Amino acid sequence: MKLGVFLSEYRADSTILQRLSPEKLGIILVGNGVYHAAIKEKGQSSQILDLKANFYALKEDLETRGLDASKLDSRVKPLSYGDLVDLIFNEYEKLIWM
């Protein structure tokens, strides 16, 4: 299964993602989920980013929050809304929202 997951919370329980273990996992950080890509706590990146997945963060939601899309964790690719539409139509068979 090629699974795309929208993650819109900063304090999220990611254990279900580890258990699903899809053949391809994309985590799309939107809303407050974008803090996973841009903020470190005590110098440590979000543990979500340790999952085996492709990570994306919506530029519009980063900029809304005063976060710089050019300074994300290197594992995360910033996306525009247009890029996001292409991604969900072309790369993933199923999408869930967390």
Partner 1 sequence: MADVKLAFIVSKPPYKSEVPKLGATHAMAYQTVEILLEEGDTVTPVLCYVGDGVLNCLKGQKAMDIYGITSTETHLKNCLLVDLDVYVCKEDLENFGIQEDQIVDAEDMGAEKKLQVVPFETIKKTVEEAKHVLYF
Q: Which residues bind partner 1 (CB under 8 A)?
A: 8-11, 31-32, 35, 39-43, 60-61, 63-68
Q: Rounded to the nearest whole angstrom, what is the least distance from the CB of residue 61 to partner 1 in the complex?
A: 8
The nearer residue to partner 1, 47 or 64, going by C-beta atoms, is 64
- Find tokens 């795309």 and name the residue: 4
Neighbour tally for 12: CB within 10 Å: 16
The nearer residue to partner 1, 19 or 42, going by C-beta atoms, is 42
The nearer residue to partner 1, 63 or 86, going by C-beta atoms, is 63
Radius of gyration of the chain (CA): 12
Q: Rounded to the nearest whole angstrom, what is the least distance from the CB of residue 51 to partner 1 in the complex?
A: 21
Neighbour tally for 11: CB within 10 Å: 6
Q: Rounded to the nearest whole angstrom, what is the least distance from the CB of residue 11 to partner 1 in the complex?
A: 7
26 near 4, Cβ under 8 Å? yes
Q: Rounded to the nearest whole angstrom, what is the least distance from the CB of residue 22 to partner 1 in the complex?
A: 26
Beta strands in 40-87 (DSSP E): 54-58, 76-79
